[in-house]
Amino acid sequence: MKEAKRNPAWHFAIFVALLWFLPSAQVTSAETKVAISHIVIGPNQVPLWIAHEQGLFAKHGTDAQLLHETTTGDFQFRVFGTPAMIAAVAAGRDLKVLVSLDSGRITSHLMARPDVKTPDDLRGKRFGVTRTGTGFWIFSILALEHLGLDPKRDRITFVEVGGDVPRLVQALEAGEIDMAMLDPAQGNQLRAKGFSLLLDMSPVNISAVQQALVVNGAYLREHPDVVEKVVAGLVEGIAFSLSPAKKDTILKTLMAHLNISVPAAVESGYRAFLARVNRKPYGSVAAMRNVQRVMALNDPKVLNVKVEDLVEDRFVRKLDESGVIDRLYSTYGVK
């Protein structure tokens, strides 16, 4: 029997099919899918957005999906304030801080209705917070302490409005609350509308809440290699965000995520980010202890948490001591 004649077109089709499937297989093996949820929307989140949108997580081998969630259920990774983490650990969760995106120094503005002109006018007023016990509530307590005001003595009522920073702005503009602690970007936007700036916390130099990348303890133990890749991507996101050459990209990112369009307000948010960003992003135990002290006013059981045990800095330390972080800053032109 004669051998069947090979069809060149058939061979070409097989070759194309192989080319189609091989890249997909390579990507699947090279990039591990991870979910990173985040709750707070503010300038400190810039490196997270940048690492995702500029492909830096992918560059380091992870296919990261960002989820804006307000729930506190199970997760692999989450970027949120250390108060929420401390509260979760006090309730029995197993969590570790991997990366601190900011120094913890408070740069927020205490903003009030146009008719509230001085700190004395705050007595008997409604202080808006996202939720009692969380970051902006802690900022509020520390701001009142600095002004010599006491919520009970001075009849200051805390009103939970839910959501995040844009929701606080909305509540203040709608008259649902009389005052709120806001990021400088939103604060300056409101000042342009006639609202009162009663306190700029930047010169006060108080350390408190840090926005941190937190990992589920079980996931950390089972997938340390993936955790290392996520940390590397986020650390490069910090370097990118600090690059003077990338400023326009950062401003556009702030405008999009913070929903602000006033150029001065965007610039203010950018300066606030630069003032707070953590160049060597280790978690600060001192800042977490200050947070814990204030949280205990509302929830005494948080004092049972050993905050020094919450920081897992081996991945950042590896990048730091190997010179990777310094080389990233050099590559991105960061001085």
Q: So what's the pLDDT on residue 76? A: 93
**What pLDDT is stored for residue 292 in this prediction?**
93
* CB proximity list for 5: less than 8 A, separation 6 or greater: none
**Look-up of token digits 């309730």:** 91
Rounded distance, CA 316 to CA 90, Å? Answer: 25
What residues in the chain have per-residue pLDDT under 70?
1-30, 69-73
Per-residue confidence (pLDDT) for residue 2, from 0 to 100: 41
CA distance 135 to 208: 9
Q: What angle do CA 314, 316, 318 make, to 5 degrees?
A: 65
Render pLDDT for 282-329 as a digit per residue (tens, 0 to 9). 988 888 998 999 999 989 999 999 999 999 999 999 999 999 999 999
The predicted-structure confidence for 77-125, as pLDDT tens digits, reads as follows 999 888 889 999 999 999 999 999 988 778 889 999 999 999 999 999 9
What pLDDT, on a 0 to 100 scale, did the predictor assign at position 222?
97
pLDDT the model gives residue 276: 84
> pTM of the entire structure?
0.73
3-state secondary structure the chain: CCCCCCCHHHHHHHHHHHHHHHHHHHHHHHCEEEEEEECCCCHHHHHHHHHHHCCHHHHCCEEEEEEECCCCCCCCEEEEEHHHHHHHHHCCCCEEEEEECECCECCCEEEECCCCCCHHHHCCCEEEECCCCCHHHHHHHHHHHHHCCCCCCCCCEEEECCCCHHHHHHHHHCCCCCEEEECHHHHHHHHCCCCEEEEECHHHCCECCCEEEEEEHHHHHHCHHHHHHHHHHHHHHHHHHHCHHHHHHHHHHHHHHHCCCCHHHHHHHHHHHHHHECCCCCCCHHHHHHHHHHHCCCCHHHHHCCHHHCECCHHHHHHHHCCHHHHHHHHCCCC
